[in-house]
Amino acid sequence: MDEIFGIPAPLLFGQLLLGLINGAFYAMLSLGLAVIFGLLNIINFTHGAQFMMGAFAAWMLLEWAGLGYWWALLLAPIIVGATGVITERLMIRRLYKLDHLYGLLLTFGIGLIIEGIFRNEFGSSGLPYRIPPQLQGSWDLGFMFLPIYRGWVVIFALFACLATWLVIEKTRLGAYLRAATENATLVQAFGVNVPRMITLTYGAGVGLAALAGVLAAPIYSVNPQMGSNLIIVVFAVVVIGGMGSILGSVLTGFGLGIVEGLTKVFWPEASATVIFVIMAIVLLARPAGLFGRG
Amino acid sequence: MMHRRTLLAAGTAAAVMPAPLSRARAQANTIKIGVLNDQSGNYSYIAGLNGVIMAQVAAQEFGNRGFNVEILSADHQNKPDVGANIARQWLDRDGVDMILDVPTSSIGLAVNGICREKNKAYINVGSATADLTGSQCSPNTAHWVYDTYMLAKSTGGAMVRAGGDSWFFITADYAFGHALERDTTTFVRAAGGRVMGGVRYPFPATTDFSSFIVQAQASRAKVIGLANAGQDTTNCIKQIAEFGLTRRGTKVAALLMFIADVHALGLDVAQGLVMTESFYWDMNDRTRTFTQRVRPRLNNGQVPNMVTAGNYSGTLHYLKAVADMGVAAAKASGVDVINRMKAMPTEDDAFGTGTIRPDGRRIIPSFLFEVKSPAESRAPWDYLKLLQTTPAEEAFRPLAEGGCSLVRS
């Protein structure tokens, strides 16, 4: 059997693939964060809670309305996105003219409150959510057995990231968005309703988090803490990629998933730390992040 | 001036009125038990608030025999610093006489040191590490329902006998995981088995175990030993099933598993797993009556498990010792209470009869169970069938081998 750095090659391929799957979650979450930061200048610390709400929305749709996974994939982002729109209208809107720090504190507080409410209602032990029957089972790839559902996660996440990127870079709406990021007053002078666009952008970013939550529900247990475990890592991803850089956050998300996966082979004890070590190095060498401008 | 006069009046009243005095007397006549455990995290659904409730049930059933019992509780959040702070506050400021439960071995060991330093009684139910009655044993401590040696001997031994002679460990990287892996390795090697490898993952920051599962598969070990507990264990079992390892013949040794885990997994995923407990609600008439009696009090429809029943049993035995020696003497010295507890046999509905050894280890039988298939299960919570009983005197590490300084040969 071929070996690379003393690790059998098939094992290494398996780990790369698994890293890619975790990277898919990082990419989707950091994409939402990057979009929100790019346009709103708000560091959205509620993102983890909104990811968790997406998973819970899937669970509620199934338990209370009898709607399965595929409906949840469609409805959960809309429902959770709507709560995002309300939050933006009622609270976040008031902070645009203030320092970043205020937005960070507000969204962090909202996140804690949401988590507390869910813990109160549902307790802290996980709720079961099954893999949809169409995606059960596994593929034999020769070097490992890949559960079909995990393959689906990667493909779906890639598709979602690509779609978001296309909307922002290639459509008229995206052009408005990018223009408003550069100079909101001027865009408004041309007759574009910038405040509404900002609200909807926040809603879309939140919807992306919820979508990732639905994807995560069948693999991880659905519990109120599931977002806070992930969100710190995702922030590191955004910082490494460069705040506000959409392509950067997607590439870094997948890349760091792979790095983390490899660490789990060579030095498992450090797998929770490796991303932060990279973050420190990147901040020292390129303070604007790998893909950031400035 | 008004303020000072009121104060003066209050002072006079306090001196004249008997009420505050009787309150002070009530304080001196109240035994305070502090239940310290995880109420919000990875291990909270094993005992958590239900662990507190079971201590209250024991206090109520014990009744008032000349003194009052007050139960306090707190959440240590699986953080050793938080747990140690609460324990110190309880003992220094709040007059707590005994600390109970304390899962998460790192915190269990920290509180072990604090209770010894303050000379208070400590009944550990939730922690697994056998070091509590080994290298770190204390005259203030009784270790109540299970430990890593007992789990390793029963579950580990059974797996090796069934042909599982090559192992790969997935271990939580802290005191508990290390102790469980160490003790299981000893039994695997003693039975002629081999350890092919293992990973230690960061606790409690890990939710995705797929990478470790693929490594385990690549090692070609026949048995994956899970040296972890709580949601980590259920996550591992779910993901091992997802990756199809169990279907292709790899065995899973869930070295520490509770009936609450079986419930969370569901029988279709958990069936066929073997696990070790010292209490199961459906063992005999006595445990069934006990379960019927206490279950209406528990949250989330749970039945009592090894840990919550242990909190009941530990509280009861402690209160018996206090009644036996008097409240004043019990408050004065934790060592004396534990010595009194060691001098009398333990006796309760959940665990039957037992004894406490000089090193603090309570000696009771351990039971090896197999999780039933959905077809075999006839009623809610009818989850386990008994495979084998290890008698009390063989279930735990021999007294002389623990390296406890309290044991003199």
CATH superfamily of B149-277+366-395: Response regulator (3.40.50.2300)
Q: Do domains B24-146+284-364 and B149-277+366-395 have the same CATH topology?
A: yes
Q: Please state the rounded mean pLDDT for residues A33-40.
A: 85
As a three-state string, the secondary structure of A9-30 is HHHHHHHHHHHHHHHHHHHHHH
Residue B12 pLDDT level (bands cut at 50, 70, 90): very low
Question: Which residue from A126, A150, A269 is facing B264, i.e. has the nearest CB?
Answer: A126
Please report the sign of the dihedral spanned by the C-alpha atoms of residue A169, residue A174, residue A180, residue A183.
positive
Residue B26 pLDDT level (bands cut at 50, 70, 90): low
Which residues in chain B are contacts of A126 at CB distance < 8 A? 231, 234, 264
Interface of A with B (CB under 8 A): 8, 10-11, 14-15, 18-19, 21-22, 119, 123-126, 128, 131, 137-138, 144-145, 147, 149-150, 219-221, 223, 225-226, 229, 261, 264-265, 268-269, 271-273
**Interacting residues of B187 by C-beta distance below 8 A, sequence separation 6+:** B152, B153, B156, B157, B160
Chain A: residue whose CA lies nearest to B198: A268
| Cβ(A254)–Cβ(A24) below 8 Å | yes
- Strand B352-356 and strand B346-348: the pairing is antiparallel
Higher pLDDT, A285 or A126: A285
In this prediction, residue A72 carries a pLDDT of 94
In this prediction, residue B317 carries a pLDDT of 97
Comparing A125-129, A222-226, A287-291, B355-359, which segment has the lowest mean pLDDT?
A: A125-129
> Which residue type is seen at B248?
R
Query: Residue B65 CA to chain centroid, in angstroms?
Result: 27
Which residues in chain A are contacts of B44 at CB distance < 8 A? 123-125
HSE, side-chain direction, 13 A CA sphere, residue B154: 31
Contact flag B215-A265 (C-beta cutoff 8 Å):
yes
Chain A: residue whose CA lies nearest to B39: A124
Contact flag A10-B218 (C-beta cutoff 8 Å):
yes
Q: Flag whether pLDDT at B11 surpasses 70.
A: no
Give per-residue pLDDT as tens, B118-160.
999 999 999 999 999 999 999 999 999 999 999 999 999 889 9
Higher pLDDT, A174 or B98: B98
For chain B, give the mean pLDDT. 89
In this prediction, residue B241 carries a pLDDT of 85
Reduced to 3 states (helix: H, G, I; strand: E, B; else coil), residue B299 is helix
β partners of residue B194: B166
Judge if pTM exceeds 0.90.
no
Give CA–CA dist B134/B124, Å, rounded.
14
> So where are chain B's domains?
24-146+284-364, 149-277+366-395
Q: Please state the rounded mean pLDDT for residues A201-216.
A: 94
Quote the minimal CA–CA distance from A75 to chain B in Å.
26
Nearest one of B223, B233, B221 to B264, comparing CA atoms: B233
Give CA–CA dist A58/A67, Å, rounded.
8
- Residues B222, B227, B229, B233: what is their CA dihedral angle, to the nearest 10 degrees? -30
Element (H, E) at B37: strand B30-37
| Cβ(A22)–Cβ(A206) below 8 Å | no
Higher pLDDT, B70 or B244: B70
Q: How many residues does chain A have?
A: 294
CA–CA distances in Å: residue B298 to residues A181, B49, B60, B65, B231: 55, 9, 15, 25, 20
Angle at B221 between CA B218 and CA B223, to 5 degrees: 125
As a three-state string, the secondary structure of A21-87 is HHHHHHHHHHHHHHHHHHHHCCCCCCHHHHHHHHHHHHHHHHHHHCCCHHHHHHHHHHHHHHHHHHH
Give CA–CA dist B152/B173, Å, rounded.
17
Contact flag B212-A264 (C-beta cutoff 8 Å):
yes
Q: Flag whether pLDDT at B307 surpasses 90.
A: yes
Q: Which range, A248-257, B88-97, B226-235, has the best average confidence (pLDDT)?
A: B88-97
Q: Which fold has domain B24-146+284-364?
A: Rossmann fold (3.40.50)
In this prediction, residue A222 carries a pLDDT of 83
> Which residue type is seen at A176?
Y
Give per-residue pLDDT as tens, A77-95.
999 999 999 999 999 988 8
Q: Please state the rounded mean pLDDT for residues B96-121.
A: 96
For chain A, give the mean pLDDT. 87
In this prediction, residue B244 carries a pLDDT of 82
Question: Which residue from A18, A223, A271 is facing B214, i.e. has the nearest CB?
Answer: A18
Which residues in chain A are contacts of B300 at CB distance < 8 A? 123, 125
| Cβ(B108)–Cβ(B122) below 8 Å | no
Q: Which range, A250-259, A264-273, B15-24, has the best average confidence (pLDDT)?
A: A250-259
Chain A: residue whose CA lies nearest to B233: A221
| Cβ(A134)–Cβ(A73) below 8 Å | no
> Read out DSSP for chain A?
--EETTEEHHHHHHHHHHHHHHHHHHHHHHHHHHHHHHHH----TTHHHHHHHHHHHHHHHHHHH---HHHHHHHHHHHHHHHHHHHHHHTGGGGTTS-HHHHHHHHHHHHHHHHHHHHHHH-SSPBP-PPPGGG-SEEE-SS-EEEHHHHHHHHHHHHHHHHHHHHHHHSHHHHHHHHHHH-HHHHHHTT--HHHHHHHHHHHHHHHHHHHHHHHTTTS-B-TTHHHHHHHHHHHHHHHH-TT-HHHHHHHHHHHHHHHHHHHHH-GGGTTTHHHHHHHHHHHH-TT-SS---
Which residues in chain A are contacts of B298 at CB distance < 8 A? none
Q: Please state the rounded mean pLDDT for residues B169-173.
A: 95
Element (H, E) at B108: helix B105-118
Q: Please state the rounded mean pLDDT for residues B379-399.
A: 93
Give CA–CA dist B309/B315, Å, rounded.
10
Q: Flag whether pLDDT at B22 surpasses 90.
A: no
Query: What number of other Cβ atoms are within 10 A of residue A269's Cβ?
Result: 13
Q: Flag whether pLDDT at B399 surpasses 80.
A: yes
- Both tokens of residue A123? 């307790």
Q: Flag whether pLDDT at A264 surpasses 80.
A: yes
Give CA–CA dist A43/B256, Å, rounded.
41
In this prediction, residue A4 carries a pLDDT of 67
- Whether B272 has its CB under 8 Å from any CB of chain A: the answer is no
Cis peptide before B20 (omega within 30 of 0): no
Residue B210 pLDDT level (bands cut at 50, 70, 90): confident
Q: Flag whether pLDDT at B16 surpasses 50.
A: no
- Both tokens of residue B408? 């003199």
Contact flag A11-B44 (C-beta cutoff 8 Å):
no
Q: Flag whether pLDDT at B184 surpasses 90.
A: yes
Nearest one of A226, A271, A246 to A34, comparing CA atoms: A246
Quote the minimal CA–CA distance from A273 to chain B in Å.
9
Residue A246 pLDDT level (bands cut at 50, 70, 90): confident
Quote the minimal CA–CA distance from B235 to chain A in Å.
7
Comparing A5-14, A148-157, B143-152, B232-241, which segment has the lowest mean pLDDT?
A: A5-14
Contact flag A273-B214 (C-beta cutoff 8 Å):
no
Element (H, E) at B201: strand B194-201
